[in-house]
Amino acid sequence: MTNKIITLVTGANRGMGLEIVKELAEADQTVLLGSRDLTKGQAAADKLVAAGLDVEAIQLDITDPESISRAVELVGKQYGKLDILINNAGASFDHFQDPSILKLDVIRREFDLNVFGTIDVTQQFIPLLKQSDSAKIINISSMMGSLTEALNPESSVYNASSMGYQATKSAVNMFTVQLAKEFQRKAIPITVNAIDPGLVATEFGGTSADSALEYGAQPVEVGVARTVELATAPKNDITATFSNTHGKVNW
C-alpha cells in the first residue's frame, strides 16, 4: 500500500471538481478524477498529467450503483485504500419556481443525484476509507441548504427560491452530521464535514463561467479554497462542521 494520500473527487471533469483535483495533486496527493463520462474525464486528466501531476481519470456516475461498485473495485485493487473522498458532483434543476407548483419529478432528480448518489458513493467507499489511518469525507454542500440562513433577512441566500435543490443540500448536511457522529461513537478515524463554496463561476445551473463572473460569482480558485484547506490539513481533528472561507456556516 502506498504512503501517498489517495483522494477521489466526484464530478471532477469540470467546474470546482476539476480545480480541486488540480490543487490537491499540486499538494502531492494522488487524485482520482471521477467523471460520469470517461472520455471527458480522461481529457481533463490528460492535461493535468501533462503538467506533471499524479491524476487518474475514473468512470463514476454517482446515480449508477454499478458504476460506483466498479470504481470501488478499481481503487481497492490499485491502492487498497482511500484517504479522502470529496463528494462534489451535484446539480440544480429548479430556479425560482414556487414550491407550491414545483414538479415532483424535478425534485426527485435532484434528490437522486445530490442526496442518494452522494450517500451511495459514500457508503460503498467506506470499507476503503476504513483502510486509511486517518480518512476524510468532504461533502460539497451550499449555504442554500441552511434553514437558518433561509430565514435570515440579512443573508445573501434569503431571497433564493430553489426549494428542491436547497432541500437536497439540507439533506446532505444532515447526512454529514449523522455520519460524523456515528464514526465518533464507534471510534472510526474518518471525519465528515460539509463545505459551502459560496457563489462560484462554473457551468452550474446551465450558465457559462464567464457570465457567472459577470453577475458576481467568485472564481473557482476562491470557491474551492476551504475544501482544499480541509483536504490538505495535516491534522484530521475537525468533524461534523459546516464551513466556508469565512468560518462556521449556520446549519
Binding site for ligand NAP (CB under 6 A): 10-11, 13-17, 36-37, 40, 60-63, 88-91, 113, 117, 140, 142, 197, 199-200, 202-204, 217
Q: How far is the CB of 234 from ligand NAP (least distance, A)?
A: 25
As measured in angstroms, the least distance from the Cβ of 24 to ligand NAP is 15
Give the contacts of 108 (CB within 8 A, at least 6 positions apart): none
Nearer to ligand NAP, 58 or 180 (CB): 58
Q: Which is nearer to ligand NAP, 91 or 119 (CB)?
A: 91
Residue 127 CB, nearest approach to ligand NAP (Å): 21
- Which is closer to ligand NAP, CB of 116 or CB of 184? 116
* Of 35 and 239, CB closest to ligand NAP: 35
Nearest approach, Cβ of residue 186 and ligand NAP (Å): 27
Pick the closer one to ligand NAP by CB: 32 or 89.
89
Cα end-to-end distance, the chain, whole Å: 38
Q: How far is the CB of 213 from ligand NAP (least distance, A)?
A: 11
Nearer residue to ligand NAP within complex by CB, 134 or 161: 161
Question: Which residues, listed in sequence order, are joined to residue 135 by a DSSP beta bridge?
Answer: 190
Shortest reach from residue 88's CB to ligand NAP, in Å: 5
Least separation in angstroms between residue 69's CB and ligand NAP is 14
How far, in Å, are 53, 208, 221 from residue 23 at the CA level? 10, 22, 9
Burial class (CB in 10 A: 0-12, 13-18, 19+), 248: exposed
Q: Which is nearer to ligand NAP, 213 or 238 (CB)?
A: 213
